[in-house]
Structure 1
Amino acid sequence: MFRHTMLFLGYELGNVRRNPVWPLFGILQPVLYLLLFAPLLTGMTPGGTLTDALRVFTPGAMMMIALFGSLFTGFAMIQETRNGVLERLAVSQAWRPAIILGRVLKDMIVLVLQALLVIGVAVLMGLRIGLPELGLMVLLMAVTGLFAANLSYGLALALRDENGMSQIIQFFALPLMLLAGMMLPISLGPDWMQAVARFNPLYYSVEAGRSLFAGHLSDSTIPTAFGVFLVLGALTLTWSVRSLRKLAG
């Protein structure tokens, strides 16, 4: 099982090395938000400084990468399904969950590298964060991406149509982003929006990220976010593996 997963992981990482453009494009929008949007928040943060604004906005930018960077990974799987590549893999002697796990691990590795690049830009802008908080933040981003990538692969295997999948993602992505408070803290919104946001799992990851960047390691949002996304990641992984088995007949 482990050997098969590592083989698929190596194959997927090889594809990334041969075509590194898309992961770089994936961080372009969050970096632009950091450079152009975060300074606008200086008047809305308690200290009124760019450093305080970065502590609020950088976690949201990182979760933006975890969401949008992972939700679109399933499109390549649709192409492989149409070409018959995935069906041949599914009926081979390979451990079927490894086909999904190898891809998901690749996505998490790419997310971690993207996270470090975004934090590097934020540090150059004046952000300061401790190593324990940084490690937990990167890990939180990875488990958030675990859920989003598994969801994307499950949708790809269930729909097998780029147009349908694109419409579903675009329909849900923007409300999820806004109700998570990625751009602005949800506490600035009306009471009804704050109440609805608590049903959005991404809200907890963003709030946990802001607690980490503020140095509040004991905040309850941190274990809550990890628990929510580990459970969601396991459920979506189970769904995508079952969809792959149905593809194999």
Structure 2
Amino acid sequence: MFRHTMLFLGYELRKLFANPVWPLFGIMQPVLYLVFFAPLLRSTVPGGKMTDVLAMFTPGSMMMIALFGSMFAGFGMINETRNGMLERLAVSQAWRPAIILGRLVKDVIVLVLQAILVIGIAALMGLRIGLTEMVLVLLLMAATGLFAASLSYGLALTLRDENGMSQLVQFFAMPLTLIAGLFLPVSLGPQWLQTLAKFNPLYYAVEAGRSLFRGDLSAGTIPVAFALFAALTALTLVWSVRSLRNLAG
């Protein structure tokens, strides 16, 4: 199992190294938001300190990468389904879950590297975060990305159509990010929005990230976020593996 997963991981990494431009493009939007939009939010925090603004805004930028970067991971799988490559892999002697797991591990590696770059830029702007908190933030981002990527692969294997998948992802991704308070805390909004946000898993990830950036390890949203995304990742991973088995007949 482990050997097959590592083989598929190596295959995915070689494809990534052959064309490393897309991960760089994927990080540009969050970095631009961080550099140009975050300084405009000083009036939203008491005292207007840039360190507090960054502690509030940086987790949202990281979750943007985890969600949008991973939700579009399945598009490449649709092309592999269409040309028959994925079906040939699925009926081979390889352990089928490894076909999905190798891609997921690659996605997590890319996400963590992107997150480290975002934290580095935020640190240059004045952000301060402890080592323990930073590790937990990276783990939380990885958990969010695992869920989004496994959901994307499940959708790709089920829909097998780029247009339908693109419309579905866009339809759900934008409301989820707005209701999660990605750019500004939901607590600044009306009561109905705060209530609605409690039903959005991404809200707990963003709030947990903000607590970690403030150094508040006792925040209740931290264990809730990890538990939620562990459960969601397990569900979507099972769905994507079953969809792959259906493809193989």
TM-score (norm 2): 0.99
Q: Distance in 1 between matches of 2:24 and 2:139?
A: 20
Task: Report matched runs for 1:199-218 at 5 Å.
Answer: 199-218=199-218
Deviations, residues 49-79 of structure 1 (Å, cap 9, x unaligned): 1111000000000000000000000000000
* Alpha-carbon distance between aligned partners in 1 of 2:15 and 2:62, rounded to the nearest angstrom: 23
Q: Which residue of 2 aligns with 1:240?
A: 240
The 5-angstrom pairing of residues 63-78 of structure 1 reads: 63-78=63-78
* Structure 1 counterpart of 2:177: 177
> In the alignment, which residue of structure 2 is the partner of 1:98?
98
Identity score, percent: 75
Q: Which amino acid aligns with 1:17?
A: F
1:192: Cα distance to partner?
Answer: 0.5
Structure 2 letter corresponding to 1:176: L
1:179-215 per-residue CA deviation (whole Å, 9 max, x = no partner) reads 0100110001110011011110000000000000000
CA RMSD between the two structures:
0.5
State the 4+ residue runs in structure 1 displaced beyond 6 angstroms: none
Shift in Å, 1:231: 0.3
Deviations 1:140-193 (A, max 9, x none): 000000000000000000000000000001111110000010011000111001
Asked whether 1:133 is paired with 2:146, we answer: no
Residue aligned with 1:47, SS:
helix
In the other structure, the counterpart of 1:224 is: 224
Alpha-carbon separation, structure 1, partners of 2:231 and 2:92:
29
How many angstroms apart in 2 are the aligned matches of 1:197 and 1:73? 26
Query: What is the DSSP-based 3-state SS (H/G/I as helix, E as strand, rest coil) of the residue aligned with 1:65?
Result: helix
Structure 2: give runs of 5+ residues left out of the alignment.
Answer: none
Alignment of 1:153-192 (within 5 A): 153-192=153-192
Unaligned runs of 5+ in 1: none
SS at match of 1:163: helix
Cα distance in 2 between the residues matched to 1:99 and 1:198 = 34
Q: Which residue type is aligned with residue 77 of structure 2?
A: M
- For residues 36 and 187 of structure 1, what CA distance do their matches in structure 2 show? 23
| Equivalent residues, number | 249
**Could you say which residue in structure 2 is the equivalent of 1:146?**
146
Q: Matched residues in 2 for 1:46 and 1:104: separation?
A: 40
| Shift of residue 218, structure 1, vs aligned partner | 1.0
Q: CA deviation at 1:47?
A: 2.7
Partner of 1:14: 14
